[in-house]
Amino acid sequence: MNINSIRGVFEVDPDTGVVLQWDPHRDAVIEPGEFDRASINCFNILDWKKTHDHLLPEDMDILDIGYWYTEATGEQWYEPPKSIGEEYALKKIRAGEYLSLDTSPAL
């Protein structure tokens, strides 16, 4: 499956959410210090399926699904989907969900 961002397209394993390939758009420019989409490790496919009756589109927008990424320091973080709302995402994070790649239901 593909997950689209304004800077490129991720090819993702539809069962695990693991990023198989990152294809940046030709004109994609990453400014120094800006978040690099290539550091995304895994998308939260299981949470998507759980909240969408196990239906997974062939293509989706990056804003609609959560993901784990690694910063330049090596720290791993979870970015919740923008479509669920910040308050709901913070509630889930405070409840201990999605804290690190190690707790990813996909891995």
Q: What is the pLDDT of residues 41-94, one digit of tens each?
A: 899 998 888 888 878 888 999 988 999 988 878 888 888 888 655 565 566 666
pTM, two decimals, is: 0.71
The band of 98, judged by pLDDT with boundaries at 50, 70 and 90, is low
* pLDDT of residue 104 exceeding 70: no
Mean pLDDT score, 2-19: 91
> Using CA atoms, how far apart are residues 68 and 53, in angstroms rounded to an integer?
22
Please check the confidence at residue 106 and state whether its pLDDT lies above 60.
Answer: no
Give the whole-angstrom CA distance, residue 77 versus residue 52. Answer: 24
The domain of 62 spans 2-103
Task: Check pLDDT > 90 for residue 1.
Answer: yes
In this predicted structure, what is the pLDDT of residue 54?
A: 77
Give the number of domains in the chain: 1
